[in-house]
């Protein structure tokens, strides 16, 4: 097997002697590429953002910004990244480099003061600069210049591309000015040209240092055999949870198995009666590929962490951690999703409603992976996802409620409600569903059902919210849905 290596700013470098748990951030800084900064080491600030060449949605390659503080460098064996240093073009010896257009705009518009956050901002900004459909489509399908608003520039720049980047100095307006001022990449721009070729293929990796090993196999079958032999191995996909464990809780595993590039976990199939979503597709990939076809998922994605996190995070990881405050389980419960679980002996399908068995526990056996999430069709037409959190974006839920209702001729034919943050596991609001089904979608029904909903689960008091607040928010959520939908249903 070829020694593990990574291409950084066009130059190949060996990963050795980094430990298997070493993050891309630490690897870069140890090699003198100190433009990539550490602000928090837990995916919250974006100071460590770098660009990775990944399979594109509209072109062979997309430049995708990720948090270098969360991803083990061994996970990028054979891959290609660009840091803030690699964006500028180096000139003749003795002459200063030519700034990249996003760096130039940040400089001339005062988007950088102490400068600590700036390399991360320019990498996130560059990813959006190179998004192939940025200039072609505005917010919706119209000309960007006609649809610009506070969060979308006349150049098609989606400000949410920067939702994972924090700055404590500039007050953000100059940064937004810079983002909304960048033009289109020129024809001779090397990173724009790079999008026309395929990204590096995933490579099998076996990287060992100091009794600790990072492994990647080429196929699902090989991976499942490996997990049969090593049921103690830690499985890693986008590493947005695992990276926090490594950095903040000093988790050190003897054996880590990467599954994020397995082709069998990266398919998205739409059939007449089901949509099957590969467990290792990133949330950004699902969001762009479904393009609003599942409205409840489309409502979830912008409320899930930041673009930087969504560029790495997977549904398999969100369900794999089994957190009671994960945002995808309530939505997937309302959609009546099931999980395809695979191990070396075969596959089985488990309804998500039967998957969680206790706090961070599930029916998943050692050596078993989530291969895909299956969403049955047709979808219920009335849906909503209400995430109650302290900040509008990039925050963890205090409570999350997802609704999927069939309302015909003013009567609720079917109600599915998923809840997060009110019990040791995500749950269905079964009593509330029963209180709604067969009843008119009226203020009286909804008020009675909201009282039932307030009593669902066993919400607790913690630093995010009191149990009383959580219960109150459940009821409010149904009242809000009724207020939002009454007009649409009656018209
Ligand atoms: C700053 C920040 C903000 C966040 N915000 C949110 C938020 O708003 N909402 C939210 O719900 N979460 C949030 N998270 C948590 C995290 O991003 C999600 O849980 C994400 O979906 C994890 O996916 P991953 O691929 O990165 O998982 P990883 O970190 O790679 O893995 C997580 C766990 O799942 C297991 N796993 C991964 N894939 C599979 C699979 N296919 N089969 C079986 N097990 C698997 C792994 O073994 C591991 O135990 C946030 C995290 C950070 C750092
Ligand atoms: S250092 Fe803050 S997100 Fe990585
Ligand atoms: S310029 Fe100082 S943190 Fe952003």
**Residues near 25 by beta carbon (within 8 Å), at least 6 away in sequence:** 36, 38, 41, 48, 68, 69
Supply the residue whose CA is at minimum distance from atom 3 of ligand 2.
43
Ligand 3 in contact with 167 (CB < 6 A)? yes
pLDDT in tens, 208-258: 999 999 999 999 999 999 999 998 999 999 999 999 999 999 999 999 999
- Give the Å distances, CA to CA, from 152 to 149, 155, 175, 470: 5, 8, 13, 33
Q: Which two tokens stand for residue 178?
A: 């810079």
Supply the residue whose CA is at minimum distance from atom 4 of ligand 3.
167
Ligand 3 in contact with 169 (CB < 6 A)? yes
Asked whether the predicted pLDDT for residue 106 surpasses 90, the reply is yes
Ligand 2 in contact with 38 (CB < 6 A)? yes
What is the CB neighbour count within 10 angstroms for residue 360?
13
Percent of all residues in the chain with a pLDDT value above 90, rounded to a whole number? 87
* Ligand nearest to the backbone CA of 50: 2
What is the CB neighbour count within 10 angstroms for residue 314?
29
What pLDDT is attached to residue 1? 67
How far is Cα 343 from Cα 13, in angstroms, rounded to an integer?
35
Ligand 3 centre distance from Cα of residue 330 (Å): 36
Ligand 3 centre distance from Cα of residue 173 (Å): 12
Nearest to 166 by CA among 312, 63, 304, 40: 40
How far is Cα 139 from Cα 410, in angstroms, rounded to an integer?
33
Ligand 3 in contact with 282 (CB < 6 A)? no
What's the pLDDT band for 357 if we cut at 50, 70, 90?
A: very high
Ligand 2 centre distance from Cα of residue 239 (Å): 13
How far is Cα 458 from Cα 450, in angstroms, rounded to an integer?
16
Q: Which two tokens stand for residue 458?
A: 């066993």
What's the pLDDT band for 488 if we cut at 50, 70, 90?
A: low
Ligand 3 in contact with 171 (CB < 6 A)? no
416-418-423-425 Cα dihedral, nearest 10 degrees = 110
**Residues 341 and 368 sit within 8 Å (Cβ to Cβ):** yes
Ligand 1 in contact with 165 (CB < 6 A)? no
Ligand 3 in contact with 115 (CB < 6 A)? yes
Asked whether the predicted pLDDT for residue 341 surpasses 60, the reply is yes
Question: What is the β-pairing status of strands 338-343 and 346-351?
Answer: antiparallel
Tell me, rounded to whole angstroms, the distance of Cα 309 from its chain centroid.
Answer: 5
Which of 169, 172, 174 for a ligand 3 pocket mutation test, highest count of atoms within 8 Å of Cβ? 169
Ligand 1 centre distance from Cα of residue 410 (Å): 39
């Amino acid at each position: 097997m070829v020694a593990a290596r990574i291409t950084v700013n066009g130059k190949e470098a060996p990963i050795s002697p980094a430990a298997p748990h070493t993050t891309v951030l630490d690897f870069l800084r140890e090699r003198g590429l100190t433009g990539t900064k550490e602000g928090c080491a837990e995916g919250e600030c974006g100071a460590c953002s770098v660009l990775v060449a990944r399979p594109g949605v509209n072109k062979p390659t997309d430049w995708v910004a990720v948090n270098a503080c969360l991803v083990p460098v061994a996970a990028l064996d054979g891959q290609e990244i660009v840091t803030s240093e690699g964006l500028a073009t180096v000139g003749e010896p003795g002459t200063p480099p030519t700034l990249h257009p996003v760096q130039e705009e940040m400089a001339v518009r005062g988007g950088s003061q102490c400068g600590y956050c700036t390399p991360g901002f320019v990498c996130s900004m560059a990813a959006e600069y190179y998004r192939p459909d940025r200039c072609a489509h505005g917010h919706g399908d119209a000309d960007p210049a006609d649809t610009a608003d506070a969060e979308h520039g006349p150049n098609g720049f989606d400000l949410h591309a920067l939702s994972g980047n924090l700055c404590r100095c500039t007050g953000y307006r100059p940064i937004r000015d810079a983002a909304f001022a960048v033009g289109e990449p020129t024809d001779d721009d090397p990173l724009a040209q790079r999008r026309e070729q395929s990204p590096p293929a995933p490579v099998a990796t076996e990287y060992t240092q100091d009794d600790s090993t990072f492994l990647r196999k080429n196929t699902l079958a090989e991976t499942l055999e490996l997990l049969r032999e090593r049921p103690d191995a830690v499985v890693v996909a986008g590493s947005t949870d695992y990276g926090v464990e490594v950095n903040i809780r000093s988790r050190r595993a003897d054996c880590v198995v990467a599954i994020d590039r397995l082709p069998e976990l990266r398919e998205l199939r739409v059939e007449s009666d089901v949509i099957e979503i590969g467990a290792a597709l990133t949330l950004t990939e699902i969001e762009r590929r479904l393009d609003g076809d599942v409205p409840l998922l489309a409502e979830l994605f912008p409320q899930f962490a930041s673009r930087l996190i969504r560029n790495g995070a997977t549904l398999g990881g969100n369900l794999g951690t089994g957190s009671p405050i994960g945002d995808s389980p309530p939505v997937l419960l309302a959609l009546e999703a099931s999980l395809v679980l695979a191990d070396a002996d075969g596959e089985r399908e488990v309804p998500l409603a039967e998957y969680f068995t206790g706090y961070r526990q599930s029916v998943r056996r050692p050596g078993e992976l989530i291969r895909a999430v299956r969403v049955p069709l047709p979808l219920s037409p009335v849906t909503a996802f209400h995430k109650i959190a302290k900040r509008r974006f990039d925050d963890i839920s205090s409570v999350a409620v997802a609704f999927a209702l069939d309302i015909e001729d003013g009567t609720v034919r079917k109600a599915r409600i998923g809840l997060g943050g009110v019990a040791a596991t995500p749950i269905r609001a079964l009593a509330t569903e029963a209180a709604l089904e067969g009843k008119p979608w009226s203020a009286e029904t909804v008020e009675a059902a909201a009282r039932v909903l307030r009593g669902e689960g066993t919400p607790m008091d913690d630093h995010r919210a009191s149990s009383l607040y959580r219960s109150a928010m459940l009821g409010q959520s149904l009242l809000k849905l009724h207020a939002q939908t009454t007009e649409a249903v009656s018209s």
